[in-house]
Amino acid sequence: MNRIVRFAFVSLALVALPAFAQVTYQWKDPKTGNMIFSDQPPPPGVKAVERKGADAGDNPQQSYAVRIAAEKFPVTLYTTADCIEQCANGRNLLNGRGVPFNEKIVQTDNAEAVAELKNLSGGEAMVPLVLVGTQRFKGFDPSSWNNLLDLAGYPKSAPYGSRPSGAFAK
């Protein structure tokens, strides 16, 4: 009976192991010529480094739920340079929930960008406009924006350490 319990525990641990996997680096050691596999980046000057793993290129601070929601329902915020308070409120709401988003600042002298905004907002160039997947909402209404984000599966608040998104993110 003891062997069965140990076998079950080891099997479960091996199955769960990929869930804890991070980025793996692979490179050839220039001194020895050996292939190196590590969870740490290679020393400076090493060429032909290959990154593998779930977080390769992604923001490691993002939770699994955020990554899935962002993949299925990407968020884009349309703003203009003269939209100050409403656009800042929208940006703050998205960042407060930890939502990764792209911000498109529409130049009013760019006819193509204005036409795209008019097409998305139903004929009038109204900002802010939030696009969550294929759903959109023009103007800033926190309850409507939160409803769209809830339906897309984004968390209600940003996790500790999450980075802000948007045109003014640092």
Domain of 75, CATH number, reads: 3.40.30.10
User: Domain span at residue 34?
Assistant: 2-52
| 41 and 93 housed in the same domain | no
What is the number of domains present in the chain? Answer: 2
Low-confidence stretches of the chain (pLDDT beneath 70): 1-23, 39, 48-49, 51-61, 169-170
Q: Helices 142-152 & 85-96, crossing angle to 10 degrees?
A: 30
Q: Provide φ and ψ at 131, rounded to 5°.
A: -120, 115
pLDDT for position 56 = 40
| 119 and 87 housed in the same domain | yes
Q: pTM of whole model > 0.85?
A: no
pLDDT for position 18 = 47
